């Protein structure tokens, strides 16, 4: 098959200025990890998010940030985490590794994210934390969800891996929770050479632990030393939180990636705006095909990290559409985010039961179109024309 429009694993192309930043760090950085570019990226990211200085921490990927957030929850036996069933597996398993049990929450059928109502249905006396995933780039109703979590005394964590730059109620995705995470994976609107992540921690007491937890327990000595090399170049300690030991990790990101991330913050809003404008063009051009249901949002609340739709005429029609688009038009659409309760991994752990009819309905009829930022106008127009032709042929 001659693929004319591929579902690429790479979201953006870098500008010459961005490439120059990478080359400069490669040539001139005094250290290639844990240096000035890491601190600069963290500082600029906090400013971009509108959160307190010193509350954002670079990690080697989004999962590392999730692992740290799970560690800071300090789960006890029997603790539960409310988690959308319709998300990527990395949103969930770090919390299981730290001792929590997943309780699956349904999503809204149109927005494809959880709501305060679907979360409340999943809360039990054992609930310790709630994870809200801003899937596809759309921010959930965080004002209502934050109020619910505050009322119930629950830790609120935002998985904003796909939603950098999206805004609701005047605040950025990832600025509502007690903690939040971001991903700079190859698929994301901001990507630091394929991998990268960020953790936001609201509580200064918890935030103070993150550098040591992130970097092998390394820290400074708490006294003045006459010789900088004695008793060692630096200390390694066991971080403690309320008398409880916290085991360290190595979740560091290199200086090259950090410098690139800081530079990309200068154009992430324009990337989001351009993707949103193109998504709306695609959606509006298919308005006379109601069998393909999109989530149309003409505001910064959606950054259109992905362009997904639901085939309202059912699973068989969805499968015929994808098959025809690929075999006859060379356009590779995909299906994403099987409800996690269906995976063998979660079933083997006794977490294979869910009451999430909207998640099931959406996944079983969803289509994700190629939507990398660097898609050419010719490819975009061809995909749109092909979509119209295939939909018409299936009527």
CB neighbour list of residue 335: distance below 8 Å, 6 or more residues apart: 322, 363, 366, 367, 368
User: pLDDT tens digits, residue range 315-341?
Assistant: 999 999 999 999 999 999 999 999 999
For the record, the structure tokens of 255 come out as: 């200086």
Same domain, 43 and 30: yes
Share of the chain above pLDDT 90, in %: 99
SS3 at position 224: coil
Same domain, 140 and 165: yes
Q: Is residue 64 part of a domain?
A: yes
What pLDDT is stored for residue 272 in this prediction? 98
**Residue 260 to residue 222: CA distance in whole angstroms:** 34
Same domain, 211 and 295: no
Same domain, 130 and 47: yes
Question: Confidence band (pLDDT; 50, 70, 90) for 162?
Answer: very high
Same domain, 163 and 190: yes
Same domain, 300 and 228: no
Q: Is residue 10 part of a domain?
A: no
Q: Is residue 95 part of a domain?
A: yes
pLDDT at 67 over 80: yes
| Total number of domains constituting the chain | 2
Q: Is residue 119 part of a domain?
A: yes
Of 219, 238, 264, the domain-final residue? 264
Of 246, 264, 282, the domain-final residue? 264
Task: Give the pairing type, strands 167-168 and 197-201.
Answer: unpaired
- At 280, which helix (H) or strand (E)? helix 268-285
Same domain, 204 and 323: no
Of 244, 264, 284, the domain-final residue? 264
What is the mean pLDDT of the segment spanning 9-23?
97
Question: Confidence band (pLDDT; 50, 70, 90) for 254?
Answer: very high
User: pLDDT tens digits, residue range 168-203?
Assistant: 999 999 999 999 999 999 999 999 999 999 999 999
pLDDT at 1 over 80: no
Same domain, 72 and 182: yes
What pLDDT is stored for residue 126 in this prediction? 98
Q: Residue 303 in contact with residue 275, Cβ under 8 Å? A: yes
What is the mean pLDDT of the segment spanning 227-234?
92
Same domain, 232 and 87: yes
Q: Please report, for the domain that includes residue 97, its CATH number.
A: 3.40.640.10
Q: Is residue 125 part of a domain?
A: yes
SS3 at position 4: coil
C-alpha dist (Å) from residue 94 to 58, 187, 204, 234: 17, 21, 22, 30
Q: Please report, for the domain that includes residue 381, its CATH number.
A: 3.90.1150.10
Same domain, 281 and 341: yes
Same domain, 33 and 141: yes
Domain that holds residue 83: 16-264
Q: Is residue 324 part of a domain?
A: yes
Q: Is residue 339 part of a domain?
A: yes
Same domain, 126 and 234: yes
**Residue 298 to residue 304: CA distance in whole angstroms:** 10
Q: ∠ CA 88-89-94 to the nearest 5 degrees?
A: 130
Phi and psi of 120, rounded to 5°? -60, -35
Q: Is residue 379 part of a domain?
A: yes
């Amino acid at each position: 098959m001659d693929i004319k429009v591929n579902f690429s694993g790479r979201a953006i192309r870098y500008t010459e200025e961005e490439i120059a930043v990478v080359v400069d760090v490669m040539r001139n950085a005094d250290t290639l990890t844990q240096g000035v570019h890491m601190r600069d990226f963290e500082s600029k990211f906090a400013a971009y998010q509108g959160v307190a200085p010193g509350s954002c921490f670079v990690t080697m990927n989004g999962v590392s940030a999730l692992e740290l957030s799970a560690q800071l929850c300090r789960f006890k036996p029997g603790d539960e985490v409310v988690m959308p069933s319709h998300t990527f597996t990395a949103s969930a398993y770090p919390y299981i590794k730290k001792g929590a049990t997943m309780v699956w929450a349904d999503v809204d059928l149109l927005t494809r994210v959880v709501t305060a109502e679907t979360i409340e249905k999943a809360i039990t006396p054992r609930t310790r934390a709630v994870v809200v995933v801003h899937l596809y780039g759309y921010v959930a109703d965080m004002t209502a969800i934050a109020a619910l979590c505050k009322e119930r005394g629950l830790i609120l964590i935002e998985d904003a891996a796909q939603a950098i730059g999206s805004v609701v109620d005047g605040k950025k995705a990832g600025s509502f929770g007690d903690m939040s995470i971001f991903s700079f994976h190859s698929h994301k609107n901001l990507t630091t050479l394929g991998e990268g992540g960020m953790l936001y921690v609201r509580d200064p007491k918890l935030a103070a632990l993150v550098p040591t937890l992130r970097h092998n327990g390394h820290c400074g000595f708490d006294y003045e030393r006459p010789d900088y090399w004695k008793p060692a170049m630096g200390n390694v300690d066991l971080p403690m939180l309320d008398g409880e030991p916290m085991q360290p990790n190595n979740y560091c990101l290199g200086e090259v990636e950090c410098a690139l991330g800081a530079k990309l913050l200068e154009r992430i809003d324009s990337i989001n705006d351009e993707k949103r404008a193109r998504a709306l063009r695609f959606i509006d051009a298919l308005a006379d095909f109601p069998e393909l249901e999109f989530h149309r949002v003409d505001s910064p609340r959606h950054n259109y990290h992905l362009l997904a739709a639901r085939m309202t005429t059912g699973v068989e029609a969805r499968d015929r559409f994808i098959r025809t688009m690929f075999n006859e038009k060379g356009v590779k659409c995909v299906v994403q985010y099987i409800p996690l309760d269906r995976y063998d991994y979660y079933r083997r752990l006794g977490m294979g039961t869910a009451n999430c009819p909207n998640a099931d309905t959406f996944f079983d009829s969803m289509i994700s179109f190629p939507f990398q930022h660097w898609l050419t106008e010719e490819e975009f127009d061809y995909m749109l024309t092909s979509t119209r032709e295939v939909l018409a042929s299936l009527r």
